[in-house]
């Protein structure tokens, strides 16, 4: 990024998860599986899921309220909302518009969704970096929220074991002290392997023309392909991101990876030669909450004393698309 760009400050963060817990043992009521099978292959013991009419909008709204409060701002200070949602409860109005409405924000605040699946928080941070850097907007609310439990096929034991629901939010603003909290950030995509994880929109052709194939609209995933892709592609990409930050891997205090599979997290940890205390994992309790997983792990890590602020962190995510991204960021005192 050019020096003339305005630096960005991460001002506040928050998260929200549903109350309802579904354990691996609970899943044995749905299909032939076991706690042992799920835990050894994924590191997941339980996940939170929405119930009744609760949705990603409710979770995203609560996470956003917390992030705005931690940023020391008022709702009126926010001048743009970007929501990173894989599959929001409504395609339109967008998740961001739903959250804008819930806050009762003024209509000069643009609100839009940005789909990069589980890489969404890092993607939206890059978009916000451009918008703040160019001076177009000052205080941007980034909100990642998904209710994956409504999108998985609960007969598919290979996929439904992995996902959980949750939301994370981050308020970013122009850094008036001139210190940029994003030391490096890169995002990538490869649509040619989009079939690794996909979700179709339902729909039928006009009855006056030849019908299209019927599709189902649950999450489909080729788990092994995703796994192989991630462990072969991400390590070099992360190395480049670290180099770009001007820091060494050892100098970075924490690795906060997308919580998709404990074995993938451990592969990254081994590559970086990080001790356990530098690696933030809470997949055991939440499963994969899509783009919300990084902010949930970050804020919860601070709350549980695993992360000390006034530090630096390497974030890395990957998801459907395939998309992936990494960032080295500064975690200032008081952000959560
Ligand atoms: N319980 C018991 N058995 C299961 C099962 C479950 N929940 N899910 C699948 N199996 C069975 C399969 O039917 C298969 O049986 P078979 O050999 O008789 O056909 C066997 O276990 C192996 O299945 P496979 O899908 O090859 O397992 P795996 O070792 O690859 O593990 C994942 C599956 C999903 C845990 C693993 O591939 C994974 O985590 N991949 C990464 C996915 C990811 O990160 N996605 C998120 C992207 S954002």
- Give strand pairing partners of 165: 147
Q: How far apart are CA 44 and CA 23, in angstroms?
A: 9
- Ligand 1, closest atom to CA 117? 48
Confidence (pLDDT) at 2:
47
Q: How far apart are CA 336 and CA 305, in angstroms?
A: 12
- Region 2-174: CATH code: 3.40.47.10
% of the chain surpassing 70 pLDDT: 99
User: Whose C-alpha lies nearest to ligand 1, atom 23?
Assistant: 158
- Ligand 1, closest atom to CA 290? 48
- What residue segments make up the domains of the chain, in order of their start? 2-174, 182-331
pLDDT (tens digit per residue) in 128-143: 999 999 999 999 999 9
pLDDT band at 4 (very low <50, low <70, confident <90, very high): confident
Nearest to 76 by CA among 96, 100, 93, 57: 100
Strand pairing class (197-198; 220-221): antiparallel
Nearest to 84 by CA among 290, 282, 325, 320: 290
Total number of residues shown for the chain = 336
Q: Which of 1.10.1060.10, 3.20.20.70, 3.40.350.10, 3.40.47.10 is the CATH number of 182-331?
A: 3.40.47.10
Domains 2-174 and 182-331 share a fold: yes
Query: Residues with Cβ within 6 A of ligand 1?
Result: 33, 37-38, 41-42, 118, 157-158, 161-162, 197, 221, 223-224, 226-227, 260-261, 288, 318-319
Mean pLDDT calculated for residue range 140-160: 97
Q: DSSP labels for 120-161? A: HHHHHHHHHHHHHHTTS-SEEEEEEEEEGGGTS-TT-TTTTT
Kindly give the distance from the C-alpha atom of residue 223 to the centroid of ligand 1, in angstroms, as a whole number.
Answer: 6
Give the three-state DSSP class for 3: coil
93 upstream amide cis, omega within 30 of 0: yes
Pocket test for ligand 1, best of 158, 287, 320 (most atoms within 8 A of CB): 158
pLDDT band at 3 (very low <50, low <70, confident <90, very high): low
Give the three-state DSSP class for 260: coil
| Radius of gyration of the CA atoms of the chain, in A | 19
Q: Report in angstroms the alpha-carbon separations of 76 from 56, 105, 181.
A: 22, 7, 23
pLDDT (tens digit per residue) in 164-222: 999 999 999 999 999 999 999 999 999 999 999 999 998 999 999 999 999 999 999 99
Which sequence positions are flagged as catalytic? 118, 258, 288
% of the chain surpassing 90 pLDDT: 97
Work out the number of other CB atoms within 10 angstroms of the CB of residue 36.
9
Work out the number of other CB atoms within 10 angstroms of the CB of residue 210.
6
Mean pLDDT calculated for residue range 77-95: 95
- DSSP state, residue 104: T
User: Whose C-alpha lies nearest to ligand 1, atom 34?
Assistant: 223
Q: How far apart are CA 64 and CA 144, in angstroms?
A: 9
């Amino acid at each position: 990024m050019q020096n003339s760009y305005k630096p960005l400050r991460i001002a506040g963060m928050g998260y929200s998860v549903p109350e309802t817990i579904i354990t691996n043992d609970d899943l044995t009521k749905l299909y032939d599986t076991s706690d042992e099978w799920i835990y050894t292959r994924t590191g997941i013991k339980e996940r939170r899921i929405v119930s009744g009419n609760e949705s990603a909008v409710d979770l995203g709204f609560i996470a956003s309220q917390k992030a705005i409060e931690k940023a020391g701002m008022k709702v009126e200070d926010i001048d743009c909302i970007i929501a990173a949602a894989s599959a929001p409860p409504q395609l339109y109005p967008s998740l961001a518009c739903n959250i804008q409405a819930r806050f009762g924000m003024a209509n000069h605040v643009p609100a839009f969704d940005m789909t990069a699946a589980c890489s969404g928080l890092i993607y939206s941070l890059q978009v916000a970096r451009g918008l703040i850097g160019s001076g177009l907007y000052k205080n941007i609310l980034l909100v990642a929220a998904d209710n994956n439990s409504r999108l998985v096929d609960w007969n598919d034991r290979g996929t439904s074991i992995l996902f959980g629901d949750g939301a994370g939010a981050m308020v970013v603003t122009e850094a008036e002290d001139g210190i940029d909290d994003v030391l490096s950030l890169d995002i990538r995509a490869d649509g040619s392997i989009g079939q690794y994880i996909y979700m179709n929109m339902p729909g039928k052709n006009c009855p006056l023309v030849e019908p299209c194939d019927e599709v189902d609209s649950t999450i489909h995933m080729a788990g092994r392909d995703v796994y192989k892709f991630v462990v072969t592609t991400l390590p070099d990409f992360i190395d480049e991101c670290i180099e770009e930050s001007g820091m060494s891997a050892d100098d970075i205090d924490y690795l906060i990876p997308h919580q998709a599979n404990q074995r993938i997290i451990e592969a990254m940890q081994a590559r970086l030669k990080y001790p356990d205390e530098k690696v933030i994992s809470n997949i055991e309790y939440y499963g994969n909450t899509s783009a919300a997983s990084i902010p949930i792990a970050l804020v919860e890590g601070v709350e549980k004393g695993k992360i000390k602020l006034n530090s630096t962190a390497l974030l890395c995510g990957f998801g459907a698309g395939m998309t992936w991204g990494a960032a080295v960021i500064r975690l200032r005192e008081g952000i959560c």
